[in-house]
Amino acid sequence: MKIVGVSACTVGIAHTYIAQEKIESAAKKLGDEVKIETQGTIGIENELTEEEVKNADIVLLAVDVKISGEERFEGKRIVKVPTEVAIKSPNKLVAKLHEVVSAKS
């Protein structure tokens, strides 16, 4: 499965990067392709390309704040959770993404 997403927390420092790391680690364990863009105090890092978004099976937004560029995910399956969920239960979260994709296939 191809997962793309964005992580962003209110301060834009710790939780943004911890969430990215946890999601990517959990998804890779299941053999998924994954890329999580971060939007924090130093701007956008690991920016998703149009191609990556187009080819994604699902979009994960682990965000506590409004993000920039959310419109580029229009028409995609989107799961939105607080960064805390991605940090505390990344394996359950990725399993949920699999359920959503399977249910709508």
Enzyme catalytic residues: 9
Q: Are the CB atoms for 72 and 53 separated by under 8 Å?
A: yes
Query: Which helix (H) or strand (E) segment is 63 a member of?
Result: strand 58-63
The CA distance from 97 to 27, in Å, is 10
